[in-house]
Amino acid sequence: TSTTESTDCLFCQIVAGEVPADVVATSERSVAFRDIDPKAPVHVLVVPRDHHGDIAQLAAADPELLSDVVALADEVAGDLADGQFRLVFNSGPRAGQSVFHVHGHVLAGTSLGWTPA
């Protein structure tokens, strides 16, 4: 759905400005802010302003909005790093998803290892 759920969703609250965050970039439809527990020199979360639970739900409901999230991730990597980045969408608790408002993790600013498990 595209409904705002700001009362019980942390990232809806950040989008609404009700919870403070270090916002590094915005578009009309998405917001990028620094992860509170960074795992790389640049670790930014990119979220659509509308509430969707995970990347598959977002892709099915509003593919243009998913494209907007990816474009903002690319902009952040260009602004804060050398333009190269990893974009991670954890989907489901076993994959590490802990906030159920879709967010892309932009990881950049160093040579990244590959140890997913």
Residues acting as catalytic residues: 103
> Among residue numbers 73 through 112, which ones bind ligand 5GP (CB under 6 A)?
90, 96-99
Are 72 and 46 a contacting pair, CB within 8 Å? yes
Contact flag: residue 117 with ligand 5GP (CB under 6 A): no
Are 16 and 5 a contacting pair, CB within 8 Å? no
Of 39, 57, 14, 47, the C-alpha closest to 107 is 39
Contact flag: residue 8 with ligand 5GP (CB under 6 A): no
Which residues have a Cβ under 8 Å from the Cβ of 12 and sit 6 or more positions away? 4, 5, 6, 51, 101
**Can you tell me the distance from the alpha carbon of 100 to that of 79, in angstroms, rounded to the nearest whole number?**
27
Contact flag: residue 9 with Zn ion (CB under 5 A): yes
Contact flag: residue 16 with ligand 5GP (CB under 6 A): no
Name the one range near ligand 5GP by CB under 6 A: 27-35, 46-54, 65-73, 75-83: 27-35
Please pick, from the candidates 51, 72, 75, 108, the single residue that binds Zn ion as defined by CB under 5 A. Answer: 51
Please pick, from the candidates 36, 64, 113, 116, the single residue that binds ligand 5GP as defined by CB under 6 A. Answer: 36
